[in-house]
Amino acid sequence: MPAKSKAQQKAAGAALSAKRGETKRSELIGASRQMYDSMSEKQLDEFASTKRKGKPDYTPDSPIPAKKAKRKRAAKKAAATRAKNAKKKKAAPKKAAKKKAAKKRR
């Protein structure tokens, strides 16, 4: 069965390398470790030998695009909050100066 995405193909390649003893199993993370545990060397070879040309980066049901979108939204929200706080900091000294001036007049 060929890989459906570039990410699957890369993970299968890493798992295959560990199966053959070229890399350590402890270096595997995520999908490659699961593939190492659940697939035979022949299955991994089929996945890893898939051509990448024309394949999407990730499969549509993969959680990675969702994580990236969530991270992007969080970064955008944080930038908006920083901008808002920067405006408050600029306005705060002016308000404090006005309060001091009003106290001196009394």
Share of the chain residues as helix, strand and coil, in percent rounded to the nearest 5: 70, 0, 30
- For residue 19, the model assigns a pLDDT of 93
Same domain, 93 and 51: no
- For residue 94, the model assigns a pLDDT of 65
Q: Above 90 in pLDDT, residue 2? A: no
> pLDDT (tens digit, 9 = 90+) per residue, 59-99?
767 766 667 777 888 888 999 998 888 877 776 666 666 67
Which structural domain, as residue segments, surrounds residue 30?
Answer: 1-61
pLDDT class for 28, splitting at 50, 70, 90? very high
Same domain, 102 and 56: no
Q: Above 80 in pLDDT, residue 52? A: no
The total of structural domains in the chain comes to 2
Same domain, 71 and 48: no
**What is the pTM assigned to this prediction?**
0.55
Q: What residues contact 43, with CB distance under 8 A and at least 6 apart?
A: 1
Residues 43 and 1: beta-carbon distance below 8 Å: yes
